[in-house]
Amino acid sequence: MQQATLLITASPIAASSRWRWGMKVLSTALLMGAVLVSTVQANDAPPKDAQKPTEIRIGLPDQSAGSKPFIRGPLGLAHIQKQLEKEFEPQGIKIQWSFFKGAGPAVNEALANKQLDVVYLGDLAAIIGRAGGLPTRVLVGSRGSNSYLAVTPESGIQHIEDLRGKRIAVYKGTADQLSFERAIKSVGLNERDVRVINLDWTAGKAALAARRVDAVWGGVSLLALRKQGIHIVTTSRALGWANTTQAAVLATQDFIDRYPSTTQQLVNVLVDNAQWIGEAQHLPDYTALMAEQSQIPQAIFQEELKAEDLPFQSSPRLDPFLLSSLQDSIERAKAAGLIRNTFSASDWFASQFVDRALKAKGLESNWAVYDTNGNPAK
């Protein structure tokens, strides 16, 4: 015992050496831990852009009923309020908006000509573009858009089943075409059973009002025709969320690869807008903004947008519902001969940008993850 005590008390240099060695180990461990945390944080953020773009070229289908260009949703809100200009112009990045009356097919043509970087497209147009070789990636989801069956009272149409042999206007090449195909197949019909006439949104409404067609399948602006005696007999929403139209904000792979940080900034703005749109207290302001921009009466937007549906419809997530719906649309487009080859919707998704935005903004629990039927996943 004395020898042990002597060893401890008589060896202050050895004790000091052991203390310094222990502190060195601790310092090394702390440094390695800091490096690990830094690495995790770096991996959670997009790589820095090697250089910033001089402009972001955005293309959208024009859904306006007036002279001002219009699209709804987070990207449309960003356009109305010039949010992207405020976000990027201080960095020397210009925002170029291009609205196309030719809708999805015209947007795809501009993409093919390398005139656009970021686009908003309904499911069918986006699928046709991707299947045709356009190197797009899905950044932000959009879901649950309603379609309407508007008919003349003279047609005698009261249900989808009554469309057999009737003249119906559908804007082919757009999401309306797939939505219509789902609707008629739900009652055992196909396109050979009806007389489909390809008309754009404006021409379709004019033809219906003039009684040159029996019916039109299309978007919310059809509700305004009720003042002219047109009847709305059913909607895609009445057939379930799976029958509604999905859409997305997409970017070219080249833009994402060259400007990942800029891409993240853009997605961050859109996620903020999705949150704002999804809160019921903002419905009066949101519908007023859309009405002023689109020249579609505010009452129509108020009728269409229900507070109880906002949590689902406003979600920007690329979740199982959106994945399943887009994959189903890909298969339907192939079966209808609209595309030659199918592809994987999951490979199309670039979900890391929305996921980062949700995490950074503390919004991971703001929207449920919806299953393939549109129900919150348990």
User: The CATH number of the domain where 170 resides is what?
Assistant: 3.40.190.10
Q: Which of 242, 266, 290 is the last residue of a domain?
A: 242
pLDDT in tens, 289-311: 999 999 999 999 999 999 999 99
* pLDDT over 60 (residue 104): yes
Q: Which of 210, 242, 274 is the last residue of a domain?
A: 242
Percent of the residues in the chain that have a pLDDT greater than 70, as a whole number: 88
Q: Which of 216, 242, 268 is the last residue of a domain?
A: 242
Residues 209 and 280 in one domain: no
Residues 195 and 335 in one domain: no
Residues 210 and 299 in one domain: no
Give the torsion sign (CA, 192, 197, 201, 205).
negative
Tell me the three-class secondary structure of 30-90, residue by residue.
HHHHHHHHHHHHHHHCCCCCCCCCCEEEEEEECCCCCCCCCCCHHHHHHHHCCHHHHHHHH
Residues 262 and 352 in one domain: yes
pLDDT score recorded for residue 315 = 98
Residues 347 and 253 in one domain: yes
- Tokens 């609707």 belong to residue: 183
pLDDT in tens, 330-370: 999 999 999 999 999 999 999 999 999 999 999 999 999 99
Please give the residue that has the higher pLDDT: either 65 or 116.
Answer: 116
- pLDDT (mean) for 198-209: 95
Q: Is 114 left (phi over 0), alpha (psi -120 to 50) or beta?
A: left
Q: Is 307 a member of any domain?
A: yes
Number of domains the chain contains: 2
Q: Is 336 a member of any domain?
A: yes
pTM check: above 0.75: yes
Spell out the alpha helix ranges (H) of the chain: 2-9, 12-44, 73-80, 83-88, 103-112, 123-131, 175-185, 201-209, 253-258, 260-277, 283-294, 298-304, 310-313, 320-335, 345-348, 352-360
pLDDT score recorded for residue 50 = 85
Q: Is 78 a member of any domain?
A: yes
* pLDDT over 90 (residue 45): no
Which region among 21-25, 80-84, 113-117, 351-355 has the lowest average model confidence (pLDDT)?
A: 21-25
pLDDT score recorded for residue 284 = 97
Selection from 288, 278, 276, 286 nearest residue 309 by Cα: 278
pLDDT in tens, 105-162: 999 999 999 999 999 999 999 999 999 999 999 999 999 999 999 999 999 999 999 9
Per the structure, the complete domain to which residue 197 belongs is given by 148-242
